[in-house]
Amino acid sequence: MNALLDKDTRIALEYNFLYLKDSVAFDIFVSSLSIEQRGFNVRFRQAIFNKISKSLDVFYKNRSDKEYIKNAVQKLVYDDINRLEIVLAVDSYIYGKKSNVFANELENYFLVNYPSLKISRKQKLIVRKLSSKDYRFRNRLINNVIDYYNLNKKFEEKTNDFFENVIKDYIFNLNNYIVKQLKLEFKGNNYYVLQKEKFLTKKDLEELYNHINKVFMEHLHKTSRIFIWYGLNDKVTSRYKN
């Protein structure tokens, strides 16, 4: 089936969702794909921010105000990180479903190794209870998709652009959103109200920004592999009746 939306329109819709927070634009984009491609089925996880949040427990293990820092980070960039993850998950799925060559390889593997099972559109071919042979095949096929379309570079560039244009300003202004812990210190008949922890320095903020970017990329590689596999599965099963 021919594309309902041309490339420029799709890029514009993705930009509006990612940078302008336009959920309607994304709904139009996904709806067009569901019409164009039989079996289009994206299962959003939105799990990367949770990984980032947990990593900050270790990153700030020596600060008593780490929960306040985590809360400020969540308040400022939670939605942005989730939107970026969704966009890259959809991109991964589309690339997984793009090539007949890789889908043919998966279909042939399934037919040869599971001859007694019948493929249907609702079926997920090799998802659970994988043998070591299945794992090797799946990982090799996913790697082939990634290498063929140069996805690591594409996703890294898109991530770095978004971090530079959106996430960076939020992180570098984080001190304005951190609720500071106070303590009372008594000297004789006088007392003083003091902060338990100092504000984050510019160097601290740079390190935090780089850390969040690093953790995002680490888990994006894992997430993108899952969605590439979903795309490959749906490419094959969409050829069959229910």
Residues 171, 215: Cα–Cα separation, whole Å: 15
Q: pLDDT value at position 35?
A: 65
Pairwise pLDDT comparison (38 vs 172), residue with the higher score = 172
With 0-12 CB in 10 A as exposed, 13-18 as middle and 19+ as buried, what is 118? exposed
User: Residue 181: left if φ>0, alpha if ψ -120 to 50, beta else—which one?
Assistant: beta
Asked whether residue 140 carries a pLDDT value surpassing 70, the answer given is: yes
Mean predicted confidence (pLDDT) in 219-223: 92
pTM, entire model: 0.86
Q: pLDDT value at position 19?
A: 96
DSSP run (H or E) holding 123: none
pLDDT tens per residue, range 67-126? 889 999 999 999 999 999 999 998 998 899 888 999 999 999 989 988 887 877 777 776
Burial 191-212 (b: 16+ CB within 10 A, else e): eeeeeebeebeeebbeebbebb
Q: pLDDT value at position 194?
A: 44
Mean predicted confidence (pLDDT) in 33-48: 66
Q: pLDDT value at position 7?
A: 78
User: CA torsion sign, 141 to 38 to 123 to 42?
Assistant: positive
Q: pLDDT value at position 199?
A: 83
Pairwise pLDDT comparison (38 vs 233), residue with the higher score = 233
Mean predicted confidence (pLDDT) in 12-40: 82
DSSP 241: -
pLDDT tens per residue, range 162-189? 999 999 999 999 988 886 644 445 566 6
Q: Which percentage of the chain shows pLDDT scores above 70?
A: 82
